[in-house]
Copies of this chain bind each other. A is one copy, B any other.
Amino acid sequence: MTIEKALVVGTGLIGTSVALALREKGVTVYLSDVDADAVRLAGELGAGREWTGEEADLALLAMPPHLVGERLAELQKQRAARTYTDVASVKVGPIADAERLGCDLTSYLPGHPLAGRERSGPAAARADLFLGRPWALCPGPETGADAVRRARELVALCGAEAVTVGAEEHDSAVALVSHAPHVAASAVAASLVDGGDVALGLAGQGLRDVTRIAAGDPSLWRMILGGNTRPVVAVLDRIAADLAAAASALRSGDLDVVTDLLRRGVDGHGRIPGKHGGPVRAFTVVQVVLRDRPGELARLFNAAALAEVNIEDVRLEHSTGLPVGVAEISVRPADAGRLADAFRFHGWHVPPVH
């Protein structure tokens, strides 16, 4: 192991989660933050101990994009670590700042773990936040081999998958798959502000899904969007133009334009990799009608275990004010019939498996 001591600068959600992951692997972790309370809380959560100037193998800068360059320069001046990386969700700006401030670019490998939560701060941190998630690494022409090696090791220690990508390509990519969709979700959610209670009462899971990310912290997203304006604007312009064209076509009764957008939407949706990464694994869903009483799920999963069926995913659908719910249990297609039979044998109602 070449990372024995790590310094985490910025003990928010991401920094503390990295610290917790490293602690689980036995790495010594030092913590630093402008907010002393955040360092104390992260320390109490087991993320490491307060940094008092010790030299680390790797320093992780976990702060908003516009602060990375300046802090990197300071840390390098202090010789805080042998290798530096950051987690800012945009990359071109921080790299330009680092160059402008005369930072040593051989020891700095810009990075960005694609993981997060709607909640922020050290209390929301979890060691497994990065498990199986992509972690972009953006080496430049000056990046040294040691920096690459240590940054890749950091990614591996966090259980993430390293994706090497140029900084400009990275910023365009996150504009497309994260930043512009966030603004679009905010615009849909904003349209609800003046909606009547009856209208909102007719809302379903679809609306909840479309607007979920709109609950994110506006001040954090202001910084993210402000650090990636050109790529975000390019995507937003296309989305806004598509929506304006759809509205105009609907107004004039030209439904073909709308249908074309809906079709492109189906195609675009199909390009998103599955939840498990890579191609979508095809599971079959077995539905079971549950009663809302203690032990019901235990009985259900016991029945699955007895049938020797491995459950890949579970989704519970509760019903408004009713003491029943539906469990949707994803299993390998070959197991679905056996599982449905087992549930029926134990007395549950199982709708036909499709």
Contacts and interface: CB of A to CB of B under 8 A. Distances in A.
A163 B201 contact: yes
A225 to B, nearest CB: 6
Interface in A123-151: 123-124, 126-128, 131-134, 136
A196 B173 contact: yes
A101 interface: no
A176 B199 CA distance: 7
A347 to B, nearest CB: 16
Contacts of A100: none
A318 B313 contact: yes
Nearest to A206: B213
Interface residues of A, number: 140
A36 interface: no
B261 A131 contact: no
B178 A204 contact: yes
B310 A187 contact: no
Contacts of A266: 186, 189, 214-216, 218
A202 B293 contact: no
Contacts of A183: 243, 246, 258, 261-262
Given A123-B354, A127-B351, A209 B207 contact: no
A78 interface: no
| Assembly stoichiometry (copies) | 2
Nearest to A267: B193
A contacts with B: majority SS: helix
Among A128, A169, A314, chain B packs the most CB atoms within 10 A around the CB of A128
A244 B244 contact: yes
Nearest to A131: B319
A67 interface: no
B294 A298 contact: no
A320 B161 contact: yes
A262 B222 contact: yes
Interface in A287-340: 287, 289, 292-295, 297-302, 304-305, 308-322, 324, 326
Given A176-B192, A181-B210, A304-B297, A272 B200 contact: yes
A272 B78 CA distance: 50
A354 to B, nearest CB: 5
In the A-B complex, the 7 residue pairs with the closest CB atoms? A132-B319, A277-B320, A186-B265, A132-B320, A173-B199, A298-B301, A192-B268
6 contacts: A203-B272, A210-B210, A210-B212, A215-B265, A226-B253, A232-B250
